[in-house]
Structure 1
Amino acid sequence: MEWLFGIGAIGVLSAIWGIGIERFLFVIRRESVKGLPANSTPITVLHIGDIHLAPWQKRKAKFVQSLGRLKPDLVINTGDNLGHADAIGPVLTALAPLMERPGVFVNGSNDYYAPVLRNPLAYLAKPSERSEGPALDTPRLVGGFRSAGWLNLNNREGQITINGLKLGFIGVDDAHDELDNLTSIPNQANALADCDLVIGVSHAPYLRVLEAMGSAGASMIFAGHTHGGQVCLPVIGALTTNCDLPTKYARGISAWRFAGRDVILNVVAGLGHSIYAPVRFFCRPEVRLITLEAK
């Protein structure tokens, strides 16, 4: 019986930590990648995603607002900003300091539909089903970003000049809900032929998206969606990515090769969670500050 008591105690303490403590331990992960042309001035990129903000989550909103002090050269928002039907106003307010910086964005499924209650254990068997919650006022969210000058990359391309370098962007809409238009990617890449660096942006890092972007010429891809696994185990790591990306790549930087091209993938573990699964375990909520440096 003592061992049962011990297991129960561990379970209770783990729940207290994951629900009551770790999910509030927001962190800025800093890394550097050598990907710019020789002799280029470094470019700092703040990668933010999976905020899943609900109106009552004041600590999270305050942390997002505080990121303005970083003054990044570029903001890449990989979607799932919303965590509640009434969160559009709070999200735009929280992101306002960052929207003063150059930025690009794509949508996640939670930017289109409100969250619904799901069985969390089902994620261990296969990726979750397509979204089925109430439709959100997505045009208002997108309009807020665009009015600030951020580029909409949902099945679109775009260009921004930063520190004298022309950055090109290939983007797709949410691949988890199969809104990604891969046939548009070659045309996007052709429009960016004169750029110094081409970056792919996707909410969900499905392998079909990574391969299409890498084969088309993207040197680096930014994605979210995985939550880093959200609940991880020591040594084992993430238990799921909620897509076909292998779990060992659930967060952070990894190297890939498509059509003879080397590609860097950066996956942000995100800041949030569904309001119906308020837990983080061995997976702190994060944003990623990436410094792009000359090769």
Structure 2
Amino acid sequence: MKKTKKIILRIIKCAIIGSMLAVGIVTYSFKIEPKRLITREYQLELTTGGENSIRVVQFSDVHLGPNFSLKQLEKLVIKINRLKPDVIAFTGDLMDVPSQFEGRLNISDVLGKLKSTYGNYAVWGNHDHGGGGNRFYADIMVKSGFKVLRNESSIIDLGNGKVLNVIGLDDAMLGNPNVQKAYSGVDEQGATLLLLHQPDLVDEVGHENFDLALAGHSHGGQVVLPVVGPIVTPPLAKKYTKGMYKLGNDHHLYVNSGIGTTRIPIRFWDPSEISVFDLTL
């Protein structure tokens, strides 16, 4: 009888501890981690013995809406400016449901405060096309001081005969990416920075066609289990889900985990991030 009571008490204790742990994890995942913002920094040598250094700061998947406000965007802008970027790259999904976001007219007042040496560049994400976004996105970004690259490129003159090609592809889910058109104006002697929303598209582009590719879309899975990895990622972010990938000897892809959330406002083991790349050319 005493043994039975001890067993019952142990079961009850385990159930209480398990319940408390579950509540703690849920609370952390919904209330704490979605508000965390970390900075990840990388150094890459794109040209052996290069003398030019350029800092590229990437942010992605803001998803302005019920779970990410303009006030939070203001804090993000301040943090990015403190990093003193030479180039700022936004890899898509500005608003969660663009037609429903009432603060659309005020976005450019906030994003327009971003400062960089050589310019700010943006590409389209699926949320920028969908939800009425195709009516607002390009105008907002241009007013914010961004050059929106939709299957086109831009050349940055770094001096000393060095140039950096910035190539932007259209969204692959609701847009129409055209690799040949995007690369038509590239300086073949320069280093190549590719911006795109969906990371898995790099296999279609060809790894030899970029030195560094920056993507978003996956949100890193939003919920990541140790050892297991992301529970689920969206289409075109199945192969490359988060972080840095070395593709061949001299080609890299970075998948940013994003700033905001979509569908469910949850993050676990996958905080929002700004990614910084100090490139030697």
TM-score (normalised: structure 1): 0.79
CA distance in 2, matches of 1:113, 1:245: 18
| Structure 1 residue aligned with 2:42 | 31
SS in 2 for 1:228: helix
> What are the Cα deviations for residues 238-280 of structure 1, in whole angstroms up to 9, with x where unaligned?
1223134446x422111114xxx74200111011002x41111
User: Partner amino acid for 1:113?
Assistant: G
Matched, 1:88 2:104: yes
Cα distance change, pair 212–195 in 1 and its aligned pair in 2 (3 A) = farther
User: Partner amino acid for 1:53?
Assistant: L
CA distance in 1, matches of 2:204, 2:121: 19
| Structure 2 residue aligned with 1:112 | 129
CA distance in 1, matches of 2:237, 2:96: 23
| Structure 2 residue aligned with 1:160 | 156
Identify unmatched segments of 5+ residues in structure 2.
1-10
Identical-pair percentage = 23
- Distance apart, 1:147 and its partner CA: 4.2
CA distance in 2, matches of 1:6, 1:235: 23
Matched, 1:277 2:264: yes
Indicate if the aligned counterparts of 2:197 and 2:217 stay in contact, CA closer than 8 A: yes
> What are the Cα deviations for residues 112-139 of structure 1, in whole angstroms up to 9, with x where unaligned?
334xxxxxxxxxxxxxxxxxxxx23x44
Q: Look at both structures and tell me which one has the larger radius of gyration over its CA atoms.
A: 2
Give 1:42-191 correspondences, 5 Å limit: 42-54=53-65, 57-58=69-70, 60-66=72-78, 67-84=80-97, 85-86=100-101, 87-98=103-114, 102-114=119-131, 135-136=132-133, 138-147=134-143, 149-162=145-158, 165-177=162-174, 179-181=175-177, 184-191=178-185
> What are the Cα deviations for residues 154-197 of structure 1, in whole angstroms up to 9, with x where unaligned?
222222224553111232211133x232xx32343342134411
CA distance in 2, matches of 1:162, 1:150: 19
Indicate if the aligned counterparts of 1:200 and 1:213 stay in contact, CA closer than 8 A: no
Cα distance change, pair 48–157 in 1 and its aligned pair in 2 (3 A) = same
- Distance apart, 1:151 and its partner CA: 2.4
- Distance apart, 1:70 and its partner CA: 2.0
CA distance in 2, matches of 1:217, 1:251: 21
User: Partner amino acid for 2:123?
Assistant: V
CA distance in 2, matches of 1:11, 1:103: 42
Cα distance change, pair 142–218 in 1 and its aligned pair in 2 (3 A) = same
Cα distance change, pair 230–180 in 1 and its aligned pair in 2 (3 A) = same
Indicate if the aligned counterparts of 1:43 and 1:163 stay in contact, CA closer than 8 A: no
Supply the RMSD in Å over aligned alpha carbons: 2.5
- Distance apart, 1:150 and its partner CA: 2.7
Q: 4+ runs of 1 displaced by more than 6 Å?
A: none
What is the number of residues matched between the two proteins? 263
Indicate if the aligned counterparts of 2:64 and 2:260 stay in contact, CA closer than 8 A: yes
CA distance in 1, matches of 2:137, 2:238: 31
Indicate if the aligned counterparts of 1:64 and 1:95 stay in contact, CA closer than 8 A: no
User: Partner amino acid for 1:281?
Assistant: F
- Distance apart, 1:21 and its partner CA: 0.5
Q: Which of 27-36 and 59-68 deviates more?
A: 59-68
Indicate if the aligned counterparts of 2:52 and 2:158 stay in contact, CA closer than 8 A: no
Identify unmatched segments of 5+ residues in structure 1.
115-134
CA distance in 2, matches of 1:190, 1:155: 9
SS in 1 for 2:94: coil
CA distance in 1, matches of 2:165, 2:35: 35
- Distance apart, 1:63 and its partner CA: 2.3
Q: Which of 79-88 and 2-11 deviates more?
A: 2-11
